[in-house]
Amino acid sequence: MKINKVGVVGAGTMGSALAQKFAQEGFEVTLADREMSYIERGLSGIREMLNQGVERRLFTSESVEKIIGNIKGTSNLEDLKACDLIIEAVFEDFDVKTNLFKTLDNIVSKDTILATNTSSFSVSELSQAVSKPERFIGVHYFFHAAKNRLVELIPGEKTSEQTYQAMKVFSVLSGKDAITTKDVYGFAVNRFFVPWLNEAVKLLDEGLASIAQIDKVCMRTFGIGMGPFALMNATGVPIALHAQRTLEHFGPSYLVSSLLEKQVESKNNWDCSGTKEAVVDEKITQKINDRMLGSVFFVCSQIIQEEVCTPVDLNRGAKIGLRWRKGPVDLMLRSGENETKRIVENFSRIYAESVPNVDATKWNMEFVTLTKNGKNAIITMNRPEDMNALNEDVMKQLHTKFTQAETDKDIENIILTGSGKAFVAGADIKFFVKNIKTNSIDKIENFTKYGQDVLNQIDKSEKKVVVILNGMALGGGMELALCADVLLSVPKTFIAFPETGIGIYPGLGGTQRTRERIGEGLAKYIVYSGKMLSSKSALAMGLIDGIISPSEMYDMLEGRKELPNKLTQNLSDDLKSIEQFFSEKSVAEILTNNSEEEFSVKMKKTLSYKAPIALILSEKLISQAKGPESELAELRTIFSTEDALLGLTSIGKKVAYKGR
């Protein structure tokens, strides 16, 4: 089922944000509420937020008008009749929600999906209000819904697989990263996040630490910009109280702090002054960490034990939805099984709770998934919280999944794509920096050699390999994509080889497969310059074979549309001249050229910002064209340079390379 027209009921903060986001992504949106004055206020808020985006150069004035034009306001629920999907975003009152769904049930067609954005009620119980509960599902969005990419998908007891799959696709097309959870109170993220807030208040009430000390330690431990008290102030202290009340039935540790109740009664925010200056000694830090980590580890161990969601979705929820630098599973892995057990057991003892199972073998996270659809195998790079960046774990999982698909006799085509905003946004920079600083270049060499072996397997596979770029493809991501027999992209894709700008060169075959696909001159142009290419520019060069819509992408993934073959692209005169320029001129000639010709001047300036050694080695590798393995010979040289460390630790900043 394809979703084109979306209804949102409730024009408050959440409903307006959802309407804005869906309209931004090109959907026709009907925003409904009881009175047109509410609609007008909601639309005014949307326009204000979009105009702020214009000031930050995220939108143009023209695009703002187009987005607003995609939204129709109404106070008549009958106007929702043509919608493929209707999302309820009214306030948290069970009777109000059920009465709304009863009304909608009498208006919409039998194929319309009805969804609740509840954060506290049972999806299955709410679904009893409609005649077709198989078309009912929970979709829990996070503040601010126009910006926050996370959504929890919560199938009810009778939700059909078709409805669930349609909402997974809709989540992607509407710019969201979805995790799936069971229909339990708190779902996944609020189940551990809200008790974490509540635990901070208990620590304060017990006099173990001050607000400033608790916030400061939590900011450092959890890798966040605001501590629990500052977060409650930002989102509303009463919201924390209300959310915690819905979880109290889980056990004694979930009981609402009496101090939190008093704070809500006072109608005041917490006094978070002095956080930066707070002095926290080792003993207090340990006490705070034991309780705050204890709360998270205890609840998350329950979630994993109860199979509410997968460990990877649990981690993803914190990193995307809450913007934690490290998710709960990351933190447990960092602590290790024994230390995690100690923390959980101590926490359980405080509240006389049963100790949940702490088993590190249950913490494995799947970052590359494999599904089969008839003769097609679909491999998805599924680490959107880190832009699907390649690291050792991801590369091993890619190797495993591809081998499974390749050795399956029923599979004829292997399709690679990604989840979230990126196909693969390069390799994990932290891995390189860590090993340069510890003088462990051999680890970088080993990772690159293994990565080349995996990509060579993909490149040489006898099965048809199709890559569909769902978003950004940078560096190693594009090197992976170039192993395809057919390379397609959606319109919003951006492609680049940024390596020379960060002190290194493409090392997973990028200098070789790029030349094979588009020729020596154009390969040098995009590798030297690091130019960000749109999908149209990449198609014009022959770097990709076609541009498809997101809907066509899913038609191909689900077997409704045949996979195309590789195309031959005829270069424009402009591209032919660029190809000739870089084929004829060396890096040294470009940098010392005194020509006043516009393109020469531009390229001289562009290359002057790149790392000199990286440029020279890229030139050598592309010119010699000895195959991907030739890139391995220069790895130790490039990663031992001062420029490499400077570039890799200065992503997004202007740096002056020394050529050493």
Dump the DSSP string for 550-569: HHHHHHHHTTSSPPPPP---
Q: Are 348 and 302 in contact (CB under 8 A)?
A: no
What's the token pair of residue 43?
């639309």
Please state, in angstroms and rounded to a whole number, the distance separating the CA atoms of residues 468 and 67.
27
Residues recognised as catalytic: 479, 499
CB pairs under 8 A, 24+ apart, for 587-593?
A: 587/528, 587/615, 587/616, 587/619
Tell the residue number behind the tokens 């080792």, with chain if given. 282
Contact 564, 467 (CB under 8 A): no
DSSP helix/strand/coil, 175: coil
Place of tokens 């048809």: 464
Distance CA 328, CA 313 (A): 10
CA distance 475 to 648: 13
Closest CA to 401 of 428, 425, 377: 377
Three-class SS of residue 56?
coil
Q: Using DSSP, state whether 547 is helix, strand or coil.
A: strand
In this structure, what are the phi and psi dihedrals at residue 340, rounded to the nearest 5 degrees? -65, -40
| Residue in the structure block whose two tokens are 């023209």 | 62
- 17-54 core/surface letters (b: 16 or more CB in 10 A; e: else): bbbbbbbbbebbbbbbbeeeebbeebbebbeebbeebe
10 Å CB burial of residue 351 (0-12, 13-18, 19+) is middle
Place of tokens 């660029």: 578
How is the chain split among helix, strand and coil, in percent rounded to 5? Answer: 55, 10, 35
- CA 660 to CA 651: how far, in whole Å? 18
One-letter amino acid identity for 87? I
